Amino acid sequence: MTAPKISPALLNIEAIRADFPILSRKVNGKQLIYFDNGATAQKPQTVIDVIDLYYKNQNANIHRGVHTLSQEITVAYENARTTIQKHLNARHAHEIIFTSGTTASINLLASSFAKKHIQAGDEIIISAMEHHSNILPWQQVCEEKGALLKVIPINQEGELLIDEFEKLISTKTKIIAVTHISNTLGTINPIKEIIAIAHSKNIPVMIDGAQAVPHTGVDVQALDCDFYVFSGHKLFGPTGVGILYGKEKYLNELPPYQVGGGTIKTVTFEKTEYADLPLKFEAGTPHISGGIGLAAAIDYIKNIGLEKIAAYEHELLLYATEALEKIAGVKIIGTAKNKASVISFSVEGLHPFDIGTILDQLGIAVRTGHHCTQPLMQFYGVPGTIRASFAFYNTKQEIDEFIKGLERTINMLK
Amino acid sequence: MTIAEIENEIVEEFEMFDDWMQKYEHIIDLGKSLPMIDEKHKTEDKIIKGCQSRVWLHSELIDGKVVFTADSDAIITKGMVALMIRVLSNQTPDDIMTAKLEFVEKIGLTQHLSPTRSNGLLSMIKQMKLDALAYKNKLV
């Protein structure tokens, strides 16, 4: 596991934890230990305040009214777009499309991209470690269009086989959609390399950044990725909001996905002229508090510093990995050299569901199951795994408690 | 024993436990003692799919009573399944169909019957009642 250069000692974890009200609550009579950040992250007070203020003092519809409230909130919402643009280092604010989340972003892209570019016999490449959300939309497109879905294989460590990837590319390949960081294995994929290979054959690439944005900064221009998608709620923002970043040239040529209010310039019963980016893809009243809440979350983590966050989480990952490896019967699934702070494991002879149930009684929240990556579970031959995923507000003391709890759980179940 | 009598017996049994750990230890023990389903019945069509743990359920009608056997790949689910079987197996289709299964709440394990629990238990109860209904229709 490659270590980031910044010293993790630079974070004031106590102060950070105080920013997250939920972290002080009790679950089943025990102090909550929240290790399910891969499913959704907790929200800092600043994000909660922004949402609260919106409904108390700012609520109006955007892009419509001439009245003051509408003007104010339109400015705030568009400022949020700019915050996200700057965070991703996108060239233009209109390359940032608000959606309801990663799943919606991929559905939008798959549907619109297929309408424009996919024909019978074409090929789409994904990887063996994709979340169902980055499999199903493409699978459906393939079924509809008679196209072929190809899958980049992985090794036992849970790393993509880049040589095999290159062999999968053909003149029929129309788009490549891979995850930046695996939600199940924690593997950080070499997306820059993947994008460069794809671009050498003029194939656009979509990166699923749902698990990456909470752990690392993303520079879409440096990566040169054509599309990048993520959810707000895993990035310490509200649920129900997400982003589709796309290069202007691609977004301009794609047809709208959902149509309706806000997406148009002129409408007659004979013909509609659609609005320019980004509104072309933003039908209906958006999740306004979600958009401004997401921007507040980005401001919050930027203020802490993504490099410091990555360094600290890496330390948590190493600490937990080492402790888990000492427990008899524990097998870590996903041992890539480059990993984010996500650990999946199984315990010999025990079902993940049982372990998750007992840990819950101890106030410890982990994820158990197939993590919406059933093909990956089939690859490893397990019904599911237990997954602990850490955020920068987690601590080594919590990991100690978790390890103690896990040992107790195993004793109970054996 | 009637369903209500068995339910009361289980409630009394669980009243002896002081904390959650003893309760779960008991459920785990029950899971280990579950009358195993005959391997030949552990087929795809007998699986009640929960999101995480799988439950196999088989039923037969013997002398006007429905006899259930089951298994699960998760031990806690298996313990809960064992409780359900203890209550509902060897009962008449009518009694099974009208059973309210209030003991689950009384022993503080309602969360295992919530739809979000994804352990297949809720679907199992539904299937047990459906089986009972099917036998009742056959009997008529």
Range 299-358 of A in CB contact (< 8 A) with B: 350-354, 356-358
Determine contact, residues A111/A137, Cβ cutoff 8 Å.
Answer: yes
Give A-chain residues touching B52 at CB under 8 angstroms: 352-353, 356, 368-370, 383-384
- Domains defined for chain A, CATH in brackets: 8-31+306-413 (3.90.1150.10), 48-302 (3.40.640.10)
Q: Are A287 and A241 in contact (CB under 8 A)?
A: yes
Q: What is the mean pLDDT of residues A31-36?
A: 98
d(C-alpha A29, C-alpha A153), whole Å:
44
Contact A369 B21 (CB under 8 A): no
Lowest mean pLDDT among A32-46, A73-87, A370-384, A385-399: A370-384
Q: Which of A350, A384, A412 sits opposite B52 (nearest CB)?
A: A384
Residue A85 has pLDDT above 80, yes or no: yes
Give the count of beta carbons closer than 10 Å to the beta carbon of residue B18: 7
Alpha helices in B17-120 (DSSP H): 20-33, 75-88, 93-98, 103-106
Q: Tell me whether residues A412 and B21 touch, CB distance under 8 A.
A: yes
Q: What is the pLDDT of residue B105?
A: 87
Between the CA of residue A281 and those of A77, A101, A209, A318, what are the distances in Å? Answer: 16, 14, 20, 42
A-chain residues near B28 (CB < 8 A) = 412-413
Residue of B nearest to A385 (CA): B52
Query: What is the per-residue pLDDT for A390?
Result: 98
Domains and CATH numbers, chain B: 3-139 (3.90.1010.10)
For residue range A308-361, what is the model confidence (pLDDT) as tens digits? Answer: 999 999 999 999 999 999 999 999 999 999 999 999 999 999 999 999 999 999
H helix count then E strand count, chain A? 14, 17
Neighbours of A249 (CB within 10 A): 10
Helices A352-361, A396-413: axis angle to 10 degrees equals 120
State how far residue A365 is from chain B, nearest Cα, in angstroms: 14
Closest CA in chain A for residue B112: A357
Nearest CB among A358, A369, A383 relative to B73 is that of A383
What is the distance between the alpha carbons of residues A154 and A126, in angstroms, rounded to a whole number?
12
Cα A33–Cα A49–Cα A300 angle in degrees, nearest 5? 65
Overall average pLDDT of the A99-128 stretch: 98
Q: Confirm if B70 and B58 have CB atoms less than 8 A apart.
A: yes
Q: What is the mean pLDDT of residues A30-57?
A: 98
Cβ atoms of A285 and A269 within 8 Å: the answer is: no
How far is it, in rounded angstroms, from Cα A343 to Cα A333?
A: 8
Beta-strand (E) ranges in A60-103? Answer: 96-99
Instruction: Verify whether the Cβ–Cβ distance B77 to A353 is below 8 Å.
Output: yes
Query: Is B108 in a helix, a strand, or coil?
Result: coil
| A407 Cβ under 8 Å from any chain B Cβ | no
Report whether A228 contacts A220 (CB < 8 A): yes
Q: Determine the pLDDT at residue B44.
A: 84
Amino acid at A190: P
- B87–chain A nearest CA distance, Å: 23
For A141-177, how does the pLDDT look when each residue is reduced to its tens digit (9 = 90+)?
Answer: 999 999 999 999 999 999 999 999 999 999 999 999 9
Q: What is the CA radius of gyration of chain B?
A: 14
pLDDT of A3 strictly over 60: no
Residues with Cβ within 8 Å of B103's Cβ and at least 6 positions away in sequence, in order, are: B7, B8, B10, B11, B83, B87
Alpha-carbon span A323 to B58, nearest angstrom: 42
The residue length of chain B stands at 140
Q: A373 at the B interface (CB within 8 A)? A: no
DSSP letters for A136-193: HHHHHHHHHHT-EEEEE-B-TTS-B-HHHHHHH--TTEEEEEEESB-TTT-BB--HHH
Q: How many CB atoms lie within 10 A of CB B26?
A: 17
- Angle CA(A239)–CA(A134)–CA(A34) in degrees, nearest 5? 40
Alpha helix segments (H runs only) across A305-373: 306-325, 352-361
User: Which of these is catalytic: B28, B36, B51, B139?
Assistant: B51
Three-state SS sequence of A372-383: CCHHHHHHHCCC
Look up residue A20 and give its two tokens: 């997250």
Examine the predicted complex and report whether its ipTM is higher than 0.90: no
With beta carbons under 8 A apart, name residues in chain A contacting B76: 353-354, 357-358
